[in-house]
Amino acid sequence: MKVAGLVPFTTIDFPNRLAGVVFFQGCPLKCPYCHNPNLQDFNQTGTLSWNEVISFFSERKKRLDGVVLSGGEPLMQSDILKAVQDIKGLGFQVAIHTSGIYPQKIKEILPFIDWVGLDVKAPKEKYHLLSGREKISSLVFETLKILSDSDIDFEVRTTLDPKHLTIEDIYLLASQLKEYRIPQFALQKYRTFPGDTNPPSQSEIDSFFENNELIQTLQNDFNRLVLR
Ligand code: SF4
């Protein structure tokens, strides 16, 4: 298990729970707006052993409700099932943040996890632009179908990158998502990051949330819409 780091306490990464976050090293994608590019290289060694992670959380059983497994892409770890079971064994609830490109892994761990944050980065036609990889949208939508057909609580989240996505793209994405059971759809504003050499203007960033017709349509289409 390659652990890049952890955050001891968060109130925003696992809805309605006080949680810690474990960041795993490695992600096969290259999203243009990635805030953790240092976590992409799977060949980098981790900074913490799994035993250190377990011992860290063992001492926090009374203070936390859950642990979020994030990254990078946590499902890239070959022994992610063991990680989930170890954390559950301590009595915590477990959340996973994933790009959705490992549907078989999701299937395997689904009985043991309590919440999923699934990135759906773009409508299928533009997925390569927002992920840096060809032909992965079918995997992401397969993961979405697995979650949708189960009874797990989850969120689909999309980062509104104005350099690659238009208002029309979000309408198209919504039409592709609508057929699934999605407990919560979250639209996330683009956030600039160190090394962002050509960031969009603030008005471009704000343009999605300021489009009342789009927001109204999404509120009608989805059970719960979150703007953040
Ligand atoms: S999926 Fe997440 S960690 Fe991987 S490149 Fe994209 S934003 Fe970065």
At 215, the pLDDT band (50, 70, 90 cuts) reads: very high
Helix (H) or strand (E) run with residue 142 in it: helix 137-149
Share of the chain above pLDDT 90, in %: 98
Q: Which of 99, 158, 188, 190 to mutate to test the pocket of ligand 1 (most atoms within 8 A of CB)?
A: 99
Q: What is the distance between the alpha carbons of residues 92 and 113, in angstroms, rounded to a whole number? A: 10
Q: What is the mean pLDDT of the chain?
A: 97
Which atom, in ligand 1's list, is nearest to the CA of 159? Answer: 7
E-strand spans in 78-120? 93-98, 115-119
pLDDT in tens, 108-143: 999 999 999 999 999 999 999 999 999 999 999 999
Nearest ligand 1 atom to alpha carbon 33? 7
Give the ligand 1 atom nearest the CA of 37: 8
The per-residue pLDDT for 189 is 97
Task: Quote the CA–CA distance of 150 and 158 in Å, as a whole number.
Answer: 21
CB 35 within 8 A of CB 193: yes
Q: Is 87 in the pocket of ligand 1 (CB under 6 A)?
A: no
E strands, 47-191, in order: 66-70, 93-98, 115-119, 153-160, 184-189
> What does the pLDDT look like over 176-202, one tens digit per residue?
999 999 999 999 999 999 889 899 999
Q: From residue 146, give the alpha-carbon distance in Å to each of 101, 116, 135, 142.
A: 12, 12, 19, 6
Rounded to a whole number of angstroms, the CA Rg of the chain reads 17
Closest C-alpha to 152, from 93, 101, 74, 104: 93
For the chain, the residue count is 228
In the prediction, which pLDDT does 123 show? Answer: 98
In this prediction, residue 94 carries a pLDDT of 98
Dist CA 100 CA 116 (whole Å): 10
Instruction: Record the pTM.
Output: 0.98
Question: Closest residue (by CA) to atom 7 of ligand 1?
Answer: 34
The topology (CATH level 3) of 3-227 is TIM Barrel (3.20.20)
Residue 75: both structure tokens together: 């499902």
Q: Whose CA is nearest to atom 3 of ligand 1?
A: 72
Mind listing the pLDDT tens digit for each residue in 18-64?
Answer: 999 999 999 999 999 999 999 999 999 999 999 999 999 999 999 99
Q: How far is the CA of 16 from the centre of ligand 1 (A)?
A: 24
